[in-house]
Amino acid sequence: MCGIIGYLGPRNATSIILNGLRRLEYRGYDSAGIAILSNDGIHVTRAVGKLSNLESRLQQGGDSPPFATRDAPHSMGIGHTRWATHGGVTEHNAHPHLNDAGTIAVIQNGIIENFIELKGELQAEGIRFRSETDTEVIPHLVDLYMKAGMPFVRAAFAAIVRLQGSNAVVMMSAQEPDKLIAARLGNAGGIVIGINPDETFVASDIPGILDYTRNVIFLEDGEVAIAQAGRVSVYRLDGAPVSKQRHVIAWDPVSAEKGEYRHFMQKEIFEQARAVTDTLRGRVNFETGEVTLESLEAGVKNAEKFPARIHTVACGTSKHAGLIGKFLIERIARVPVEVDYGSEYRYRDPLIEPGLAVLGITQSGETADTLAAMSIGKARGAQVWAIVNAIGSQAERMATGVIHMRAGPEIGVCSTKTFLTSIVDQYLLACALAQRANVQTFERSNADPFSLARDLAHLPGLIGQTLKPDPIYEVLANYFHDRRHFLFLGRGINYPIALEGALKLKEISYIHAEGYPAGEMKHGPIALIDETMPVICVAVQDGVYEKMISQIEQVKARGGIVIAIATEGDGFIRQKADYVINVPAAPELLTPVLTAIPMQRLAYEMAVRLGCDVDQPRNLAKSVTVE
Ligand code: G6P
């Protein structure tokens, strides 16, 4: 996860920024850099690897006097720890990035979805790029606007408005040495701004500035801050000023970690765009669509090891992710996939034949049933792979090939961001397998594994849109929190989302809920439907949309209450359902990543309304290490 730090004030900016970056080290990174404004302009020093490398470069003089001070009453700088997304792990790809004259420095988190278009435009103006990153378009764009006569702040706004996707951006200009500009677009990267009477801090995460201040504001999607020493003005992208509420972060480390959120689950739901950005980082070349899964490379590249079939083994939420993965891997890579509960697989004497890969999906990497199922595969000669969040866990150690979820720490017992990231991992796996095998998929034009991988560039942005504030969740929780039964229906790739929706609700609000493939409703659950029964239907505009509409009509005909999760702009479904929760339009194979989010948000609101212990629901554990 990229880390961002900025400082403007009387203290030494270099040491404050380095300390902030150190506080964010736990999120992981592969290179780091810092830009300091000095009397003679901006000085940038960057280094691949650990922060200690950057520090020694600075001590050796770096690209400039290391602890440069200015005659001005304050010192200013920005720093960044990078996880590579666009372009390899090299010094010239590390942030900050500069314009040609080196007068504007920029750091960024996230993916600029339209960077190819912007880069082309800038290259046509004769601008030469020094890195392979998407970030570098920003300083050049700002520069272009400044050359056209705009002052820095206006030029920065004009450039920020042109960025598509979910991003957090911080920049400074040598021409306006008293301002840092920070922007948050979408939800892939947060921005917190700490304010003391004579100094201002900017960071991607609270721990980065906690040593210095507890008074903070958080930027929302589409807000830009102009930070000066000791004061901050915030505007929307259209220039309208926003009045921000100041928060005081409590001293205890747990509340500090939760930041602006009430519960870890809520925080984890809202950091999913960012988690997915991390999952994608460095794995997709968004220009060619090629997917590289380094830790699986050996297995996937070697033709003999290309699996003839896959057995996915998992428990709970991870099992539901596996069911979506079956759909993805079969559809994209045409490799047959069977999905089983770890607890069943281990006792059913599974058919393990040559060419089989057993894929364990587990956020904790310690679930006893999943580990037992994986070890059966291993003992009988299958290659064993793991999709896992916890680094160094048993599942990771047992597997020969690993794909990390990179969701970051998940504290809430109820899995949220590990669900989304494990779906994305399987999407990547499916594309990687298809690309290596040159699979002729049944709908080549729609399922070309290179263009499917390129679709992923839009995913953090789409997740961000799905996380926008929406009063519908509170409305539904207020109306329905006293119901004792819910039915969840979905079909096709969104059928496992119905299972996951029911699981979320029962786990944290203790309401009985069942998830069903919609076509099965007529074989039993339909008998339960009456005017007291809320039925949540995933009915996005995909290949089974009409089928879902007819299920909705059947529920309505029996007096049931329909809450539809539908594609934004679908006016037709509004005439059919009682309530509609919108998700943005997306390529069909990515829709479950979005439809999962309303399930999480709804379950969360219900549990809060019922006063349940959201983060630690009764009788449940985050890691189930016993049978
Ligand atoms: C527990 C957790 C669930 C999780 C399941 C599987 O029941 O409460 O959230 O889905 O274990 O965990 P795993 O770590 O294997 O994904």
- For 114-154, the DSSP string reads THHHHHHHHHHTTPPPSSS-STTHHHHHHHHHHHTT--HHH
Mutation test residue for ligand 1: of 415, 416, 506, 618, the one with most atoms within 8 Å of CB: 415
Closest CA to 197 of 165, 167, 170, 231: 231
- pLDDT of residue 65 exceeding 50, the answer is no
**Would you say the CB of residue 389 lies under 6 angstroms from ligand 1?**
no
Q: How far is the CA of 624 from the centre of ligand 1 (A)?
A: 7
**Would you say the CB of residue 343 lies under 6 angstroms from ligand 1?**
no
Beta bridge partners of 383: 357
Average pLDDT along the chain = 90
Q: What is the DSSP string of 263-306?
A: SHHHHHHHTHHHHHHHHHTTTB-TTT--B--HHHHHHHHSGGGS
Q: How confident is the model at residue 68 (pLDDT cuts 50, 70, 90)?
A: very low
Q: Please report the pLDDT score of residue 444 as a whole number.
A: 46
DSSP E strands: which ranges in 18-100? 31-38, 41-48, 75-82, 97-98
The pTM (predicted TM-score) of the whole model is 0.78
Q: Please report the pLDDT score of residue 66 as a whole number.
A: 41
Q: Are 108 and 137 in contact (CB under 8 A)?
A: no
Mean pLDDT of 26-34: 84
What is the H or E stretch that residue 463 is in?
helix 459-466
DSSP E strands: which ranges in 197-287? 199-203, 215-218, 223-228, 231-236, 241-242, 247-248
Q: How far is the CA of 36 from the centre of ligand 1 (A)?
A: 45
Mean pLDDT of 435-443: 64
Q: Please report the pLDDT score of residue 425 as a whole number.
A: 97
**Which stretch of 35-39, 101-105, 497-501 has the lowest confidence by average pLDDT?**
35-39
Distance from the Cα of residue 25 to its chain's centroid:
18
Q: Are 516 and 485 in contact (CB under 8 A)?
A: no
**Which stretch of 10-19, 164-173, 544-553, 613-622 has the lowest confidence by average pLDDT?**
613-622
Q: Please report the pLDDT score of residue 440 as a whole number.
A: 56
Question: CA–CA separation, 537 vs 531, rounded Å?
Answer: 16
**Would you say the CB of residue 318 lies under 6 angstroms from ligand 1?**
yes
Q: Are 530 and 558 in contact (CB under 8 A)?
A: yes
Domains and CATH numbers, the chain: 3-260 (3.60.20.10), 278-463 (3.40.50.10490), 469-610 (3.40.50.10490)
Question: CA–CA separation, 538 vs 549, rounded Å?
Answer: 10
**Would you say the CB of residue 609 lies under 6 angstroms from ligand 1?**
no
